[in-house]
Structure 1
Amino acid sequence: MAAIVLLSLLGVPIGQAMIGASILYLWLKGMDMGSAAEQLLNSTYSSYLLLAIPLFILAASFMSSGSVLDRLLRWCNALVGRFPGGLAQVNVLQSVVFASMSGSALADAAGSGKLMQAMMTRDGRYPPAFAAALTAVSAVIGPILPPSIPLVLYALVSGTSIGYLFLAGVLPGLLLGAVQMALIHYLAKRHRFPVEDPVPMRELPGITREALPALMMPVLLLGCLYSGITTPTEAAGVAAAYALLISAFYYRSLGLRDVYQSLQQSARTSVSIGILIAGATVFNFVITSENIPASLSAMMRGLELSPFTFLLLANLLLLVLGAFLEGSTIILVILPVLLPTAVALGVDPVHFGVVAVLNIMIGLVTPPYGLLLFMMTKIADVSLGALVRATLPFLGVMMIALAITTFWPDFVLFLPRLAGYTG
């Protein structure tokens, strides 16, 4: 672990740092250093599920064309713009809608952050720090709702069904959006935030018709998964093909140059995630060789922790780690260590996965080092102090959503059980 920290401080990407530290461990132990390559290749080429990640990223890239984005924002504005804090409500709703396109909090904030910041701060309608804070906290919703790249990674390390994980994330994700919108309503009344001009009801069917093909993406994805027509990876391929077809032929917003740029951008993102997965795979081999998961599980059982106490401690740990580390690293390195203990204590693995991912995502906006906070200071050109102050009320209501998700398992598992989950 010290070698990983040292290499990271020297500027080595975390994936390569884990590989380098693992090779160093094998050398010091006198083990065959080729074991690192063996573990990397075995895990990479034996996991069909890994193919879902670049396909979801490609689908998101196709759907992020300007024309699709504009139509979805118009639809969101038609629904909630007329309520107190109209544009702020639109910001949250667009994060819920765009969840079906990105699956990544950082991608969501980067994709719509500049546009929403410009819209909300025009003519002094909202304070810049408030607009930036709202974009950061609403971006957290994306990776909870399907398709979620963090949940795909958790399925990879835990062996749980990606379909059940996707369903388990729906209610917590919607709850997160609901508590944020409720807080906006309260703040809008208190600070007299502006209300947008209401869209006439006669125009709503037309606006909905224009946005409907994009809105059908999650319906298509979940339909393919739970009807048994496709595997999760094949469903990701269907999603990418659907995104290409509607963006290129229905909305006519995607040309050949755009397709090439989407492929190029998706390849870069997929490679960076792939290197991270490779590094985590080799490092997990080191952790397993040292028998750390089994030792931790035995120690936890010796402490006679209840599931409630374990989940409380796990929440605190993951919130702190989420403020310092990239989420994928935590899922691939830390969760495999915690999962055996969770299962031994009777915590459902699907429930634990959603709780863990929700913790990690909230960590992205937890002061003082949340990655989304640093990203929004650059996008919105606001000070970190002002951004943190504006974020704190949202963190309060998000903690309420986290508590409900953590300590009410039936809330999380309701939809999976309707689909046949027996956990």
Structure 2
Amino acid sequence: MMGLDPFAVSVLSIVVLALLGLPIGHAMIASSILYLMISGLDMGTAAEQLLNGLFTSYILLAVPLFILAAELMNTGTMTTRLLAFCNAFVGRFPGGLALVNVAQSVIFAGMSGSAIADAAGTGKLMQKMMTEGGKYPPQFAAALTASSAVIGPIIPPSIPVVIYALVSDASIGYLFLAGVVPGLMMGLFQAAIILSSARRRNFPVEPPVPVRQLPGITLRAFPALMMPVVLLGGIYGGATTPTEAAAVAALYALLVSALLYRSVTARALYHSLLSSARITASIGMLIAGALVFNYVVTVENIPAALSAWLAGFELTPIAFLLIVNVVLLVLGCLLEGTTILLVVVPVFIPTANALGIDLVHFGIVCVVNIMLGLITPPYGLLLFVMTTISGQPLKKIASEVMPFLIAMLAALLIITLVPDLSLWLPRLFGYNG
């Protein structure tokens, strides 16, 4: 093993194992053990880092609970009632169902915290509704569903924000608040694209819902609409921690679906729990691998070395943020978002601190970048999800997604250059950053 650079071998090992089809979490664990072996360090350190990281991070419990809440919503009729509510208010405008797609993502964002949960849950319903009777081209419906699902993890709650809070020690409560305005802005940018395309492409207008029916539709959707209030009210009212609020959200989704709407059977509940466990195990292995590999990165002093290297360029905070945007957007085309948050983002945090960049604002910039990676060709994960759901070729969906991606890149630039957009609401609730 003499003459080999342990870190280079470790990184190369991750790439090779991933290309051979090994899940990235497993690849990081195996490569980290290889690093420890070549370096002559105790290989038991890998298990120690893994166990310490997973069992001392109380905040990580929020992840499976948010996943369970989303599964319970999809199992019951909460999502269909929310769609009816959105349709009643925005369906009457040009491109009505397309606007409903965006509106439901904004509302559903306050419940699941996951872009994949949004696309796989309400996305299926929206794909069917938009393509029935040839109302919208199926590739457009798929592209819009993927694009609107990106909003989910930006508006609270958010699983990526929970993971960023884990690696940055930033306040998860203030991070949740910081995502509200950027998330709403991205929804408005998507709506602008739809309205500009509606007349040119002759998108249909949905029959207006009579005003006398609005109270009934709102009342039926009201328990579902209250879920974000229950979730965020508990956090910012001081009654619960974010993790406890995630547990309350899951319980609330179960009680509303099972007792009030009577739409969840024992069998459906079992499948929701099973699906949540599978997704959690998948994310858990990824987090475990990243925790072990982050130890390797720390031993190699990579964050400090990068910070010192960047300091030599005398970058301004804005220049640094723009470089981070480019790096994360490129990586988002190739890597899974959680991996980027756990492995790449921590390397940038010391430099962001040194430049005086607020870590709450930095977290939102990072999360938005990573979410855009989900719809960036050629490897955007949401594009593959919608290819499966819609049956449309990836090439057609990628072509239709480009106007939305360009609009959201413009929104990202504004979010990056104007920190007050992210920090205004946290400051209103006492944040001093």
TM-score, normalization by structure 1: 0.98
Residue equivalent to 2:330: 320
Residue equivalent to 1:345: 355
- Distance between the aligned counterparts of 2:47 and 2:153, measured in 1? 31
- Distance between the aligned counterparts of 1:293 and 1:244, measured in 2? 43
Counterpart AA for 1:196 = E
Residue equivalent to 2:16: 6
The match for 1:118 among 123, 128, 131 is 128
- Distance between the aligned counterparts of 2:124 and 2:224, measured in 1? 21
- Distance between the aligned counterparts of 1:117 and 1:326, measured in 2? 24
- Distance between the aligned counterparts of 1:201 and 1:230, measured in 2? 38
Counterpart AA for 1:132 = A
Displacement after TM superposition at 1:101 (Å): 2.6
Residue equivalent to 1:412: 422
Counterpart AA for 1:159 = D
Q: Which moved more, 1:373-382 or 1:308-317?
A: 373-382
CA contact (8 A) 1:323 1:366 kept: yes
Residue equivalent to 1:389: 399
| 1:81 and 2:91 correspond | yes
Q: Which moved more, 1:413-422 or 1:116-125?
A: 116-125
Aligned residue for 1:100, secondary structure, equals coil
CA contact (8 A) 2:76 2:257 kept: no
- Distance between the aligned counterparts of 2:227 and 2:78, measured in 1? 12
Residue equivalent to 1:233: 243
1:66-112 deviation line (CA, Å, top 9, x unaligned): 42121111101001000000110011111111112321112211112
| 1:69 and 2:67 correspond | no
Residue equivalent to 2:263: 253
> What are the residue-to-residue correspondences of 1:201-240 with 2, within 5 Å?
201-240=211-250
CA RMSD of aligned residues (A): 1.0
Residue equivalent to 1:139: 149
Counterpart AA for 2:296 = V
| Identical columns (%) | 65
- Distance between the aligned counterparts of 1:404 and 1:233, measured in 2? 31
Residue equivalent to 2:306: 296
The match for 2:192 among 182, 185, 188 is 182
Residue equivalent to 1:283: 293
CA contact (8 A) 1:248 1:254 kept: yes
1:107-156 deviation line (CA, Å, top 9, x unaligned): 21111233212211122211111111101100100010111000000001
- Distance between the aligned counterparts of 1:386 and 1:367, measured in 2? 11
The match for 2:181 among 168, 171, 176 is 171
The match for 1:42 among 52, 70, 75 is 52
The match for 2:138 among 112, 128, 141 is 128
Counterpart AA for 1:226 = Y
1:39-73 deviation line (CA, Å, top 9, x unaligned): 11111111111111111111111111242121111
Counterpart AA for 1:216 = M
The match for 1:375 among 363, 382, 385 is 385
- Distance between the aligned counterparts of 1:223 and 1:336, measured in 2? 30
1:192-232 deviation line (CA, Å, top 9, x unaligned): 21000000011111101111111111111111111111111
Residue equivalent to 1:154: 164
TM-score, normalization by structure 2: 0.96
Aligned residue for 1:26, secondary structure, equals helix
Stretches of structure 1 that go unaligned for 5 or more consecutive residues are none
- Distance between the aligned counterparts of 2:61 and 2:43, measured in 1? 27
Residue equivalent to 1:271: 281
CA contact (8 A) 1:133 1:391 kept: yes
- Distance between the aligned counterparts of 2:400 and 2:362, measured in 1? 30
Residue equivalent to 1:364: 374
